[in-house]
Amino acid sequence: MGELLGERRWLVLTGAGVSTDSGIPDYRGPDSPPRTPMTYQEFVRTPEGRQRYWARSHVGWARMWTAEPNATHRMLVAMQDAGRLTGLITQNVDGLHERAGHRDVIDLHGRIDRVICLACRDVTTRASLHERLAALNPGFESRVGEVAPDGDVVLSDTGDFRVAACTICGGDLKPDVVFFGENVPKERVERSYGLVAEAEALVVLGSSLHVMSGLRFVKAAHRRGIPVVIVNRGTTRGDDLATLKIDEGVAETLSTSLPFV
């Protein structure tokens, strides 16, 4: 990896495999069980869908927000400080890159620590919503279940959960993240393509590239003819576009490839 990239500065694209060392499960890792995430269409279609989502997410929020940046996040900050990166695009919504000290991250799929009203588009913090939901549903967050990758917890019964509305207009609230079936905002896509157009190399860390939102940037880098390195346990949809594919964990690969960090 070091020999291929040499002194090139990297554009980095990260996925869920970067956050697994922080205790956040991955949808598509080699050992991940089959999961069906909430879709945008399901969320907006019925009150019951929104109730199920917010109940599960309320219980899981503490687990997600107490997760700490891991060695990979810290190594990428060190690379940025050393001037070795041209940018970082993440498909993760956990905010761990920023909490580790990384600057100017493009949060491609949004941030789970923000909440948006589907009616008036007001954006508030997830922490404030958590307090409101706790007041509406005393004791609910003590329920237990398997933690899923989006920070929610699998619960069998959510029918008694009370959902909070927007404090400004009374509209329905949604986490400020891109759900399956929803489009990434155009501005984020254009900024990301701009980074690819100026990149000396693209390094993909911990992503299966299963969805086009990330794969398109690998395709763009391949068309430009710059080196594309993919580090991910298991196959990805970009393997045939990669100059080098490393089927190993992200942290151990970076720690052996970056002696200066």
Q: Enumerate the domain spans of the chain.
A: 2-257
What CA–CA distance (Å, rounded) separates 169 from 121? Answer: 10
Residues in the chain, overall count: 261
For 2-22, give the DSSP string.
HHHHTTPPEEEEE-GGGTGGG
120 is in an annotated binding site: yes
Partnered with residue 204 across adjacent β-strands are 13, 230
Label residue 144 by pLDDT band (50, 70, 90): confident
Phi, psi (rounded to 5 degrees) for 90: -120, 140
What CA–CA distance (Å, rounded) separates 226 from 199? Answer: 8
Could you read off the pLDDT of 73-115 as tens digits, one per residue?
A: 999 999 999 999 999 999 999 999 999 999 999 999 999 999 9
What CA–CA distance (Å, rounded) separates 226 from 164? Answer: 48
211 is in an annotated binding site: no
pTM (global) more than 0.95: no
Could you read off the pLDDT of 185-242 as tens digits, one per residue?
A: 999 999 999 999 999 999 999 999 999 999 999 999 999 999 999 999 999 999 999 9
159 is in an annotated binding site: no
Instruction: Say if residues 165 and 171 touch (Cβ distance below 8 Å).
Output: yes
Phi, psi (rounded to 5 degrees) for 43: -65, -45
Q: What is the mean pLDDT of residues 138-149?
A: 76
Top CATH class of 2-257 equals alpha beta
**Helical (H) or strand (E) element with 246:** strand 244-246
Average pLDDT, the chain: 91
Residues with a known catalytic role: 109
- Six-digit token string for 214: 């990330």
Q: What is the mean pLDDT of residues 165-175?
A: 97
What CA–CA distance (Å, rounded) separates 129 from 173? Answer: 9
